[in-house]
Amino acid sequence: MIKDKSRRTWSSFSFHPRRRAPGSWRLKPPSRLASRLLALVGFVALFHLVDLHLHFREALRAKYLPTRFTLLSAEDEALLSRPGWVHQDGPSQPTENIDREVLLANRQEWRRLGGGREGEAFVYDGSVIKIYNDGTSPFRNCFPGDATSLPWPAEIPATLLLGGFQGYQEGTDEDEDEASMFRSGFMPVRDYFLASVPASHGGPTSPKWHLVTPFLSSGTLETLASRIRREGEANSQSPSSPSPPPSYREVDRRYRPAFEGLLAALERMHEQRQLCHDDIKPENIFVASDPMQHGERPARWVLADLGNARHPDHAYHRSSALWTADTNQLRDCRANDVVRLVKSYAAFVRAACADRAAFDAAFAEGVGPLSRMYWAVVAKMMDRENGRFEKADGGGVFAARAAAHLSRFYSGSTETDSDYREYGDEEDAARLGTGVEEEGSGRWSQHERGKGSQGLLGQMLRSLTGFEEGALRVEVSRALRVGASERMGTVFGLSPLLGVPVSGCRVVKEEQ
């Protein structure tokens, strides 16, 4: 009898699976239970996305509420409502501001500095011209007065009140001119106006707001740190008279007075103007004078970019969705300004010095004037955040003043590393509430460590793998990072499609 070999499914050499009928490999439809589970998961995901959308739309709306400018004198009100800010185009129009006419007539010679969501910046003849773009960054405030509902950037009134109106005065090379121009610690205003923009600069469009401020050739803290480090490396390799590049202690001694000048500027901003900066970072701190370039003149820094200035009880500060989305910012914006400033200063010293590894080690262990000042300020601001302060201390109102006391107590201006407390003593420290501790008792573990790989297991792994220094470098960089990104609001709030939720321009009543 002959067997049917076509039904054979295996042999001694190989295994051949039985051929299936056409269509037998098709997926079977999911069971009723699986379908219900998938539908439930989809519904929950959709509900969560809708909730995120509504949450971040509300957070965006809170962020773009107008800034309230209070405690205005008659001179302040006259300054904010001064005429002459409308520029009439055309040769037949009367010329009221010759300097502005010259500036606008030479648009082709403007050199572009950069641009972003808020607009573009150009430089010409010692001035910086910022052109605002309300399409990507809507204006939050209105031009003051009952007869107008014209929106304008909050940066203009904030800069006028804090930096002052200087006009197109010539020259900033003399000591008296510089001291007069930057005595407030903020960038002054040379001019501001509403004018049309030609096609070569993004036009023709409706008139755009322009803000004119002095151009500081020394740049920001970022450029200053790069220059110090670069010149230090060059001097160390000089064949004639080599000198070692500056250590972090030397950089701190040289520039601590400039840092304390910014604390004084913040003190005036918080106490006299009832405003917070909300965007302090090295890119927004400009160098007015530097001993390395200007000889015997002391270092002087100024705060700029006040487009995010807000009053302390602004709704944005209570909106955790955006206020703390990028970094763990403090709810009290005045204490938060101080923390961001001390972080920016520490980051500057770290970037400028030649011994970055030594800085990181001292920072983590709380050794030396700068590290101890940093951790004392952070601890002081955290106490204010948690309501642990004396009534006479004033809470966040006097945050910058308290930080200035701590900076003077932990002074880095003395020549010896062991004797760096130039101001104050233990009793003075107790009065200020600095929480003075023994050398080396840093506050890293209390405020920064203990998160993820910073725990005991992470330290053991780093020690075993030999990456202790690299891991410490990453940790210090993360600890000194500042910012409050709007990225989550852009994504979940669908602002590219729906726009930023800004209410119609309304005049905010100023409180006397």
- Give bridge partners of residue 70 from the DSSP assignment: none
Which residues in 362-439 belong to E strands, given as ranges?
none
Q: What angle do CA 360, 365, 368 make, to 5 degrees?
A: 80
d(CA 444, CA 192): 45
The CA-atom distances, in angstroms, between 495 and each of 58, 59, 503 are 12, 12, 14
3-class SS of residue 60: helix
d(CA 191, CA 331): 34
d(CA 222, CA 352): 9
Q: Is the pLDDT of residue 150 over 80?
A: yes
Q: How confident is the model at residue 377 (pLDDT cuts 50, 70, 90)?
A: very high
The residue with tokens 């998961």 is: 41
Q: Is the pLDDT of residue 463 over 70?
A: no
Range of 14-28, 160-174, 185-199, 418-432 with top mean pLDDT: 185-199
pLDDT tens, position by position, 224-264? 999 999 888 877 776 666 667 889 999 999 999 999 999 99
Residue 468 tokens read as: 């202790």
d(CA 286, CA 278): 16
Instruction: Give the residue with greater pLDDT, 12 vs 492.
Output: 492
Query: How confident is the model over 206-230, as a mean pLDDT?
Result: 93
Q: What angle do CA 77, 79, 84 make, to 5 degrees?
A: 125
d(CA 330, CA 339): 9
Instruction: Give the residue with greater pLDDT, 218 vs 430.
Output: 218
Whether the bond into 204 is cis, omega within 30 of 0: yes
Which residues in 290-421 belong to E strands, given as ranges?
300-303
pTM: 0.82
* Cβ proximity of 472 and 364 under 8 Å: yes
3-class SS of residue 20: coil
Q: Is the pLDDT of residue 144 over 60?
A: yes
pLDDT tens, position by position, 167-182? 876 544 445 556 678 8
* Cβ proximity of 379 and 446 under 8 Å: yes
Q: Is the pLDDT of residue 90 over 90?
A: no
Q: How confident is the model at residue 491 (pLDDT cuts 50, 70, 90)?
A: confident
Q: How confident is the model at residue 278 (pLDDT cuts 50, 70, 90)?
A: very high
d(CA 11, CA 22): 24
pLDDT value, residue 438: 44
Greatest alpha-carbon pair distance for the chain in Å reads: 120
Dihedral sign, CA of 262, 264, 267, 269?
A: negative
Number of neighbours of residue 461 by Cβ within 10 angstroms: 13
- Give bridge partners of residue 121 from the DSSP assignment: 114, 130
Q: How confident is the model at residue 46 (pLDDT cuts 50, 70, 90)?
A: very high
* Cβ proximity of 374 and 346 under 8 Å: yes
Across the chain, mean pLDDT equals 79
Instruction: Give the residue with greater pLDDT, 366 vs 259.
Output: 259
pLDDT tens, position by position, 336-358? 999 999 999 999 999 999 999 99
